[in-house]
Amino acid sequence: MDQFLYSIPIIGIVFELVGYLIHVLPDISPIILRAATPIAFAALCGVMCERAGVVNIGIEGTMLVSAFVGWTAGVYLAPVLGSDPTFFFGASPALIGALVLALLAGVLVSSVHAWLSISVKADQIISGTIINIAAFGVTGYLIALLSQSSPTGAGQFKQFQPPDVLTSLPGIGWIFETLLNQGPLTISLLVIMVLFQIWLFRTRWGLRVRAVGEHPRAAETVGIDVIRLRYRNVMLGGILAGLGGAYLSMEGTAQFQQEMTAGRGFIGLAAMIVGRWTPLGAFGAALLFASATGISQSILIAPPPGQLGDVLHALPPQFFDALPYLVTIIILAGVVGRSIPPAADGQPYEREAAH
């Protein structure tokens, strides 16, 4: 049987690829989780907004602003508050202060989107796009101005070192390594994702959010303030997007680069759709999209042997840069028709006129 399968080159290569992936999974799974973190935060932001009926295309821009503010605030706070890393995730007072400001920036940017889409009742996709263009323009201008003096930031959060007892367990040690050998923002993602899932589907508050996203008129008749709830959710979404942005410039790297979000906000939106507007599903989809990054890195660092290696070697290296985006398009196109958004998603809410 094996002989027969391997005699057909394509099937042989597919088998080799699956074998290779199983072989490297323990090594690349921490990389995948790290790559998934900003995407998953973006996706959670999307769930937070769209479950309440507000489409947020501006996640990308919100993340970019938070990444910028996190890094820049570090530059200014480091001499004032001190930037000596402590044992706790390498956090310093400057770094924590900068994180708080990054999250506030996320809330501020998303409240602009909230105002435009809830109060002004502008088209929500146009509004979100303007957030993106504005974030790109403003951070581009400010970083051009700041980098004239090439300042140093406040460093970055460090990874937690899980005890060897856990990570050296046979068979499952790599799972602990994946989940725990991470920085504070990645670990907080895991906690927030679970809490968010429970909050949305197991509590009164979550029920209210879903009611507003499905049928705001009915929600209003039972006494829910639709406008207020939407504002609140979009601003909470700003914190989530802010965490994703802060990850980029404060945990994943220790610097800000122009356009460093590189489409992750949009990949997050795709993850939200593929994950059917649930926190757990969105996280799973983010992992799926991020695995393209992890696999690409693994292939570049430790290429597989044999026929598969020859095939991969023949591909231009840029193929692997494009892989996460291609995977996103393909999965989105395959799933989207069967994934139903909240019924009132994207529709501005008009209070009935008082008579």
Partner 1 sequence: MSVVQRTWSLLAVPLIAIVMSVVVGSIVIIASEWLVSGELQPGLAVDAFTALVVGAVGNERVIVDTLVTTVPLLLGGLSVGLAFKGGLFNIGAQGQFLMGALGSVIVGVQLREAPALVAIPAALAAGMLFGLAWGFIPGFLKATSGAHEVVTTIMLNYVALAVLAAAVNGPLNVEGSASPITPDVGNAALPIIVGTDGHLGLIYAPLMVLVYGFLLFRTTRGFEIRVVGSNPDAARYAGMSPRRLIIWTMCAAGLLAGLAGATDLLGTTHQMASSYGTTVGFDAIAIALLGRTSPIGILLSALLFGAMRTGSAQMQIAAGVPAELVGVLQATILFFLVASPVIVRRFGIRGAKAGLEEAATITGTYGSEAVR
Query: Residues in the site for partner 1, rule: CB under 8 A?
Result: 55, 57, 116, 119-127, 129-130, 133-134, 136-138, 140-142, 144-146, 148-149, 262-263, 266-267, 269-270, 273, 316-319, 321-322, 325-326, 328-329, 332-334, 336-337, 339-341, 345-347
Q: How far is the CB of 267 from partner 1 (least distance, A)?
A: 8
Q: Among residues 78 and 91, whose Cβ is nearest to partner 1?
A: 78
SS (H, E, C) 106-141: HHHHHHHHHHHHHHCCCCHHHHHHHHHHHHHHHHHH
Q: Among residues 30 and 70, whose Cβ is nearest to partner 1?
A: 70
Q: How far is the CB of 131 from partner 1 (least distance, A)?
A: 9
What distance in Å separates the CA atoms of residue 264 and residue 280, rounded to the nearest whole number? 18
Q: How far is the CB of 221 from partner 1 (least distance, A)?
A: 25
Amino acid occupying residue 295: I
Q: Among residues 305 and 334, whose Cβ is nearest to partner 1?
A: 334
Q: How far is the CB of 81 from partner 1 (least distance, A)?
A: 19
Which residue has 């639709």 as its token pair? Answer: 226
Nearest CA among 194, 323, 345, 175 for reference residue 273: 345
Contact between 39 and 290 under an 8 Å Cβ cutoff? The reply is yes
Q: Among residues 151 and 306, whose Cβ is nearest to partner 1?
A: 151
Q: How far is the CB of 109 from partner 1 (least distance, A)?
A: 12
What distance in Å separates the CA atoms of residue 2 and residue 303, rounded to the nearest whole number? 23
Q: Apex CA 300: angle with CA 295 and CA 302, to 5°?
A: 85
What six digits make up the tokens of 277?
Answer: 């507007």
What distance in Å separates the CA atoms of residue 30 and residue 70, rounded to the nearest whole number? 24
Q: Among residues 147 and 221, whose Cβ is nearest to partner 1?
A: 147
E runs forming strands in 114-251 = none
Q: Among residues 161 and 318, whose Cβ is nearest to partner 1?
A: 318
Q: Among residues 84 and 259, whose Cβ is nearest to partner 1?
A: 259
Compute how many other C-beta atoms are within 10 angstroms of the C-beta atom of residue 149.
7
Which residue has 């598969």 as its token pair? Answer: 308
Q: How far is the CB of 114 from partner 1 (least distance, A)?
A: 13
Q: How far is the CB of 53 from partner 1 (least distance, A)?
A: 11
Contact between 63 and 244 under an 8 Å Cβ cutoff? The reply is yes
